[in-house]
Structure formats: C-alpha cells, structure tokens
C-alpha cells in the first residue's frame, strides 16, 4: 500500500506547514543514514520521510495529494511511480479514465474525466487541448538605433545594417518538423497508450512520450523544432533626405519571423544625427553664426557665407549689429515629405579689429573724434 504521508510524518491531516516542518526535521534526524550506519530499515524510513515531506511541504503537491490521495510529477503517469505500488485512493476507479487527455475519446466512459482535466491544468499549467505552440504567431518587432552624420541626414543615404533576427528556418519552412512521415512512438508502439503493471493492478495510461498521438514528431535538426533560427542579416536601409534626429524608420517584415509561417514583425530604426561643427539643424532650417568685420557691419556688404549647398552671397545692410539674424530663403534642408526646403538663418557676429599698427590706431582715433557720442547713453537712462 502506498504510504500515508501524514502518518509517515506523524502529523494530523490538518497540521500546519510549521508542524509538518518540525515533524520532518525530528524524523529526518532520527532516521538519518549517517546516524544509523548499516541499518537498512532506518534508511527506508528516512526515504519515506523525505518523500512525505517533499509532497506535504509544497502547496501544489499537497493540494493534489489531499484531493486524490497521491502525488505524481506527471499526471499521466500517476500511480505508476517508482514506489511500485498502486495508489488505492480511488478504490477501484479506472485510472485511465481520469488520465485520458482532453479531446481524447478513447476512454471517455468516466464522467469525472473533465473534472480531472481541470485539476491537471491547475497543477501543471498545461493546456490539455491543442498545444499553445500550434497557433501561428506574428513575429515580434525589432528596435535598432542608428548613428548617421549630419550630411547623411540632409542628403539621405543607404546604410547596411547587420541585424540579428529570428528568421524562418529554411530547412523546414518554419514548421519545425522534419519532412517525411513521423515515426511510430517506440514507447507505445503507436497505440498512444501504455500499460503499467503495479502489483495485482494493471492500468492503461496515455503514453507520456507521444502525448497519446502514437507518433513522434520529427524535429527539424536545423532549428531544433522551433521553426526559426537566429541569424545576423545585412539589411539595407534607405534614409530619406532631410531625416531628423529621433526619426523612426520602419522596415516592413524585417523583425523576427512569426511561428509556423505567420508574418514577421517589423524592424524599427531610430536615427541619431551627429552634430556638425558649424551648421545647426532646427527642423528643416539651418542656423549658422558668421563673423562680420566692423567695416562690413558699418558700411553694409555682400559677404560669403557657407550653406549646405556650398558658398553663397549674403547681403548685410549698413549698421548691422552684433547678433542680428538674416534669413536666406530656401537654403535649408529639403524635406522629402513636403518637398520643400527650409531656410538658413545667419547670425552676424560683429568682431572688433585686433589693432597692432599705428595707422589703424590713428584711423580709430579719428573715428572716435567724429563720433564722440556715448554708446552707453541709453543704459544710463534706464538705471
């Protein structure tokens, strides 16, 4: 007969987890093989105590034991454990009814089969119906960051990216199964059932090896049955002209492959645009600061300024002051979506001359005599 775990530990059926633990420790010490060298009976008792504690100390196992009178790691093989004794919890109940899997009508005479199925799902978290893996699932999206320089962003470019992604296995076409007929399950010889003999009792169980199908699915060797393999692939990405910092590009179908032929996810690339030492991007506008001499600022001038197209002439008026900004229309970035160009904004940085020669000093003194007015006059009014 199967042991009564509560009896083995010498505790009541409603004993608390704490009581169970205490009882186990006491008995384990008492029957420990180290303390009973050569005592076979003590060793057996020690093993039984261990087994009882293993089940009663774990809520899920304990729940199963309390409900059906035994515990087994594998619900389908229940009662056929190494203990070599049938469990009598059901008193003659035909085990095969309780353990036939969902959707399996071979042993559907037992009215309780559905209930047991529920219990097993609860214990093993396994769906006894269609395996979850059978449903094709769309592949997941991939996110990559990509650094491009200022000019690549403005002019657009093609970039080759090495992407590590899950690809549909070419060997099996994503099915995970090797081509050809599946082999007959050697465990049950293709019947889907195995017979277990325990003492005087014989019972038929769903074959655990093939899940009652009678056949072993030949796993594809290339992908180990997953249907997908991880590969590093070179993906060509076209960056459109005018791409901006933080833009997110989508490359359809270059995410991870789906399972069982379901569509792949997408690849998303987020752009990081490196700054330029001179040009600053402000959306589709370009901003730049350029030095201006005092004679140019004072007299007005046509000055050469850099643009993203090369050099261009900018007319600055008489009396240009430091920090004054000028707009050069449509000298900014071409926006590939609107088809329009932004502007370039030029800031004038009026520079004082570095004077070393006498002649220039003379000229500046002369200038001062001509313009003796206080440039800070406006400030005093406000103080």
- What does the binding site for Zn ion look like in residue numbers (CB under 5 A)? 169, 171-172, 185, 187-188, 207, 209-210, 220, 222-223
In the complex, least distance from residue 100 CB atom to Zn ion, rounded to whole angstroms: 14
Comparison of 19 and 187: residue with beta carbon closer to Zn ion: 187
Give whichever of 211 and 296 is closer to Zn ion, judged by the CB atom. Answer: 211
User: Could you tell me the smallest distance in angstroms from the CB atom of residue 171 to Zn ion?
Assistant: 4
Alpha-helical (H) ranges within 173-285 are: none
8 or 206, CB closer to Zn ion?
Answer: 206
DSSP per-residue string spanning 286-343: EEEEEEEEHHHHHH-EEEEEEETTEEEEEEE-TTPPTT-EEEETT-S-B-TTT--B--
For the CB of residue 74, give the shortest distance to Zn ion in the complex, in Å.
14
Our CB check for Zn ion shows the closer of 16 and 74 to be 74
Please, what is the minimum distance in Å from the beta carbon of residue 206 to Zn ion? 8
> In terms of Cα–Cα distance, which of 331, 326, 330 is closest to 345?
326
Q: How far apart are CA 256 and CA 106, in angstroms?
A: 40
Those residues with Cβ within 8 angstroms of residue 73's Cβ, 6 or more apart along the chain or in another chain = none
Q: Which is nearer to Zn ion, 172 or 251 (CB)?
A: 172
Rounded CA-CA distance 347/345 in Å is: 7
Q: Cβ 235 to Zn ion, closest distance in Å?
A: 22
Given the complex with Zn ion, which of 185 and 251 has the nearer CB atom?
A: 185
Residue 199 beta carbon to Zn ion: minimum distance, rounded to whole angstroms = 24
**Strands (DSSP E) found in the chain:** 142-148, 157-168, 183-184, 193-198, 201-206, 215-216, 228-239, 248-251, 267-273, 280-282, 285-293, 301-307, 310-316, 325-328, 344-351
């Amino acid at each position: 007969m199967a042991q009564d775990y509560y009896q083995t530990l010498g505790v009541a059926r409603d004993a608390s987890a704490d009581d169970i633990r205490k009882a186990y420790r006491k008995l384990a010490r008492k029957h420990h093989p180290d303390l009973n060298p050569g005592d076979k009976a003590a060793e057996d008792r020690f093993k039984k105590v261990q087994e009882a504690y293993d089940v009663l100390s774990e809520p899920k196992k304990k729940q199963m034991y309390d409900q059906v009178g035994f515990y087994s790691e594998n619900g389908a093989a229940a009662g056929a454990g190494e203990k070599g004794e049938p469990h009598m919890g059901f008193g003659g109940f035909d085990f095969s009814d309780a353990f036939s899997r969902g959707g399996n009508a071979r042993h559907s005479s037992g009215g309780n089969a559905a209930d047991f199925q529920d219990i097993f799902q609860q214990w093993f978290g396994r769906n006894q119906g269609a395996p979850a893996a059978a449903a094709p699932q769309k592949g997941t999206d991939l996110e990559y960051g990509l650094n491009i320089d200022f000019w690549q962003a403005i002019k657009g470019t093609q970039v080759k990216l090495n992407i590590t992604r899950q690809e549909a296995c070419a060997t099996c076409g994503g099915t995970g199964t090797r081509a050809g007929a599946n082999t007959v399950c050697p465990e049950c010889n293709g019947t889907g059932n195995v017979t277990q003999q325990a003492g005087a009792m014989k019972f038929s169980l769903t074959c655990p090896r093939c899940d009652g199908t009678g056949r072993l699915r030949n796993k594809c060797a290339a992908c180990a049955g997953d249907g997908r393999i991880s590969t590093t692939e070179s993906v060509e990405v076209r960056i459109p002209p005018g791409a901006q910092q933080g833009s997110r590009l989508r490359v359809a179908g270059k995410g991870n492959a789906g399972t069982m032929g379901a569509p792949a996810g997408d690849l998303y690339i987020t752009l990081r645009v490196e700054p330029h030492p001179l040009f600053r991007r402000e959306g589709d506008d370009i901003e730049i600061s350029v030095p201006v001499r005092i004679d140019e600022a004072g007299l007005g001038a046509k000055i050469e300024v850099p643009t993203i197209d090369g050099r261009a002439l900018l007319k600055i008026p008489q009396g240009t002051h430091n920090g004054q900004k000028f707009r050069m229309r449509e000298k900014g970035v071409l926006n590939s979506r609107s088809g329009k160009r932004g502007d370039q904004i030029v800031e004038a940085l009026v520079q004082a001359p570095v004077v070393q020669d006498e002649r220039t000093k003379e000229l500046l003194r002369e200038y001062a005599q001509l313009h003796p007015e206080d440039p800070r006059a406006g400030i005093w009014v406000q103080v």
